[in-house]
Structure 1
């Protein structure tokens, strides 16, 4: 078989890949020869920009827990997808990017060949767990195994494999086995578990911090926090780990004084699968999140255990396995520490529903929850997302994510929601976008229509870059470049063949949601000024 045929068979038969995102190019036609006529039994989705391909793969991975896979052309295709890979790297999202690169005998020579870069591999190494140039076609199974070892057994993130165009048709040997290598993630060692349990059992005011690494073990997470009777900060990427309205769930509200007071007053803090990073614990950017007592940290990445907050006890382990081990050891003796009362007191002090910064959005999310209670909400960096991070609860993990927690790119929401639609066709999906950020990837509406994705695009139209306007105003900087000219979104949607409507109040939003099509996307444009006047 050829190298291209081997690649497709490894993806399909060994690693169970059923969906690929990519834009064909002259350098990748041999990959598409193998996909021709659906013989590979893999769905190929064609975005309108490689950045969109990366964001779609990201959304697919977040909802399914499986790597999103992209086929990308040499040169500009790779520079286009780099932003999406940066977002996935920041949030530890498994993504496999297979690209072409120029012929082996021309690499690094600077001859001005089509799509040539000085070193494509070096450029992509900065936004990936590793970037590899395949120089021997028979090594492809080994390189693929290395990529999936990252996804299965280490801290995940994007992996880039580039194949010189003269290798696609190179003959290769069949691998010795088509079986997927089985990797067991590391479990916490017994001595560290005993020490952690001793500190936690002796604590009077414990606090738990759960990050996105805990998404695969929600039952163990609930068992653990209930055994400890400990208030729990759940980050944006861990929303739903404790379920909806859990009495110990403080939400991702560590930037606010009532929760920060709990962190300073806690005698033991247990942090599992979380970076304890700025966009989850310090969105007010004042470095005010402090841990007063002993800190126990669990992370799959040893380096992460010494970043941001150095632990008194650090365990290199899979978050899910650590949750299970701790829950089993602590589950037999349940503590009574007034955890629910302390959590309720903090949430009452926050009073988010009546906070002027969030009050506008309370009826919006109430309407969404009433119409689509099981929906996956996928967001850009926009006003509705900033509010939803604090207001929204989800019944399960992997039902709420966005680009505002971490890398913070714009243009993520629409294509990532499309990836979520493809990954979870059994669930409704809503893209939360703004009129500024959606313009980065609005062309992906064409792909959503083509794929007949029943996606709701909730576009908050506030006439420009509202968040940056606010920062400029607070800094005493004259507004420049933020009051941008908006397009006619209704006309644009119609041009793509996408259903669209404009609303200005909760009743209008409810009607629009009730009448959304079942076989294609719908853009619901919310007039922010009219909405704010209606709910004031």
Structure 2
């Protein structure tokens, strides 16, 4: 009979898993014994947080769930931040960990890596499953597979006690792989109501969220059927590049809010309408609209922002069912007005950052841009028309974890090995996960790390100035970036904002490192 570890690895293979991100330990040796025969590629990050961010980036680009394998105790606590980021952005991620033998759990005996209840810890961020006997493995994996392929997405944790890793699994208790599918829980009457509202409206608008990121063709077709401008939130960027109906701008900007306020009706597809998209400045002025239709796979999300009509299910399954007799008039003109107004409404200095992103896109067309929490990324979240579906994503939405970008860039590059990846990060954020730059180098991935170096936390320093308080704690001294790149065995170039696009266009494929020198924080 196959062991628990062998059965789990075979199930991962049957689910289409091609890469696992993990750091081996004495508590996961049996899983590592089973991996070589599976053909699944194993990538070793430098921290468990890196493993989680890699799984996140891999999932976003591939459209499949990412997998991280960590040890008991500190391995799990180190990956909690990436799990929280995945929860905030609905990214499907499976975290597999060991746990101490069943007879020791909850007794506080001081075993290696012991936690009182690590499943309860991870369960605060998503579904947590504890295997307590071998014949329960199939049922648990069936639940996990369904959650990862049929729901809203987010982290799932499976912990396996050490004394069960090599335990035999009964032949009649083998898991069956779940298959991805589209779900539409709406009958014809619901769709008819939606089409009646869309048909009667004079100025339809679509607000597309991250739930649309794998439904670009269906979104484009609906927008053209309706004659509706499409507001693209951060996680939907790239779906309608250079389309006359696209508004690749934040709903926090006043010209975009005006478009929403005048919508008749507003169709919200796959967006939680969260403040990091819709109320970035915290003024509470996101417009209410009486005629709002919402599409979401999650019933809880639909309940949080009531609408005139809600449709529960996959965006990809519902959008093709929506229509109207003829496109509404002036859709492209309304979109252009909002686009131009949004760009003009950017805060001081952000226009230059957006122009730099345009130049990077032109210098490296079709690249995936993975961002950390840094000023050029904040600017792009406000306004950026990316040229690749799913090719613009970052940690500056939702949970906002610093140090996200290097690991996520590794995952993205493994998911799309023929596509260049640009890792946009500040010097402060880089120091949260410098080791994953070395991972990118070791794996030989086409990643260009672009480090914007103002020698500190520029955004926070400015916030302190705005609050009229002394700037304190914002100038941690970064390493010499040339020395850092050489230590990672990466080609290094020093640049400025004015020369960055030219530097990027001239360089060879990655991995490589570009430092962009900025005026210092202090």
Give the alignment partner of residue 467 of structure 1, picking from 459, 462, 467: 459
Match of 1:115 in 2: 113
Match of 2:134 in 1: 137
Q: Which moved more, 1:388-397 or 1:147-156?
A: 388-397
Deviations 1:173-206 (A, max 9, x none): 2356665234644313211111111111111122
Pairing of 1:158-307 with structure 2 (within 5 A)? 158-174=155-171, 179-182=176-179, 184-187=181-184, 188-242=186-240, 244-307=241-304
| TM-score, normalised relative to structure 1 | 0.93
Distance 2:395 2:264 in 1: 33
Match status 1:27 vs 2:27:
yes
Match of 2:481 in 1: 489
Match of 2:55 in 1: 57
Deviations 1:99-145 (A, max 9, x none): 000000001011111000010000000112x1011011122122112
Give the alignment partner of residue 81 of structure 1, picking from 65, 72, 79: 79
How well do the aligned residues superpose, as a CA RMSD in angstroms?
Answer: 1.8
Is the alpha carbon distance of 1:297 and 1:363 closer, same or farther for their aligned partners in structure 2, counting shifts above 3 Å? closer
Match status 1:383 vs 2:381:
no
What secondary structure, in the 3-state scheme, does the structure 1 residue paired with 2:164 have?
coil
Structure 1 residue ranges without an equivalent (≥5): none
Give the alignment partner of residue 513 of structure 2, picking from 520, 523, 527: 523
Match status 1:311 vs 2:303:
no
Is the alpha carbon distance of 1:509 and 1:198 closer, same or farther for their aligned partners in structure 2, counting shifts above 3 Å? closer
| TM-score, normalised relative to structure 2 | 0.96
Match status 1:156 vs 2:153:
yes
Match of 1:42 in 2: 40
Give the alignment partner of residue 365 of structure 1, picking from 340, 345, 357: 357
Q: Which moved more, 1:146-155 or 1:183-192?
A: 183-192
Give the alignment partner of residue 69 of structure 1, picking from 64, 67, 84: 67
What secondary structure, in the 3-state scheme, does the structure 1 residue paired with 2:38 have?
coil
Q: CA deviation at 1:432?
A: 0.7
Deviations 1:421-471 (A, max 9, x none): 011001110011011111100111221111111210111112211111122
Deviations 1:204-236 (A, max 9, x none): 122211111112221111111111111221111
Match of 1:125 in 2: 123
Distance 2:424 2:73 in 1: 31
Is the alpha carbon distance of 1:88 and 1:208 closer, same or farther for their aligned partners in structure 2, counting shifts above 3 Å? same
What secondary structure, in the 3-state scheme, does the structure 1 residue paired with 2:171 have?
coil
Number of residue-to-residue matches in the alignment: 519
Q: Which moved more, 1:210-219 or 1:172-181?
A: 172-181
Give the alignment partner of residue 445 of structure 2, picking from 446, 453, 459: 453
2:7–2:174 CA contact under 8 A, matched in 1: no
2:249–2:383 CA contact under 8 A, matched in 1: no
What secondary structure, in the 3-state scheme, does the structure 2 residue paired with 1:351 have?
helix
Q: Which moved more, 1:391-400 or 1:104-113?
A: 391-400
Distance 2:171 2:202 in 1: 60
1:252–1:281 CA contact under 8 A, matched in 2: no
Structure 2 residue ranges without an equivalent (≥5): none
Pairing of 1:317-332 with structure 2 (within 5 A)? 317-326=313-322, 329-330=323-324
1:152–1:185 CA contact under 8 A, matched in 2: no
Give the alignment partner of residue 433 of structure 1, picking from 425, 439, 454: 425
Match status 1:92 vs 2:90:
yes
Is the alpha carbon distance of 1:152 and 1:17 closer, same or farther for their aligned partners in structure 2, counting shifts above 3 Å? same
2:141–2:175 CA contact under 8 A, matched in 1: no
Match of 2:340 in 1: 348
Distance 1:84 1:374 in 2: 26
Give the alignment partner of residue 402 of structure 1, picking from 390, 394, 406: 394
Distance 1:72 1:178 in 2: 22
Match of 2:405 in 1: 413
